[in-house]
Amino acid sequence: MIYFVSLAVLIMDQLSKIWILETLTIHQSLPVFKGFNLFLTYNKGVSFSLFSSDHVFMPWVLTTVALLICLGIVFWLKKEHNSQIRLGLALILGGAIGNIIDRIRFGSVVDFLDIYVGPYHWPAFNVADSAICIGAFLIIVHLFLNKKENIHA
């Protein structure tokens, strides 16, 4: 049942990317409201363009690492009983698969959400990235709020 969360994230991510690719051209900005634009770009690295490289093997290295992480998450989900951690893992899994699909299709990840304050812009991101961050946040909050339980586990 928890895999439906992953599937929902994957579907929302891919549909939003299809729409943005049909709507904007590369580096085109569409203001939505003050502090938020839609801005089509491609990310060859990982989150926030870390490890970005034009090396021909980099997309495959990142894809392989992401696939191994997804495999680890599936094994963790099979053993995990806490619903908050399971939800976090499901969000991360759906987001990771969404970005893997992009890397296989385009050699990079489609990013388009642009948040800014004045001239300062957060690196562009997408629905998958959001799900990954929310999932990680849920797991971290659970671990911090349940320190004693986690130490004795």
Which residues form the catalytic set? Answer: 111, 129
Q: For residue 38, give every residue at least 6 positions away whose Cβ sits within 8 Å of its Cβ, in sequence order, or none.
A: 20, 23, 24, 29, 30, 32, 112, 113, 114
Report in angstroms the alpha-carbon separations of 76 from 80, 93, 148. Answer: 6, 11, 21
Task: Report residue 128: phi and psi, to 5°.
Answer: -60, -45
Beta-sheet pairing, 109-117 with 29-33: unpaired
Beta-sheet pairing, 36-43 with 29-33: antiparallel
Tokens of 106: 């385009």
Tokens of 69: 């992480």
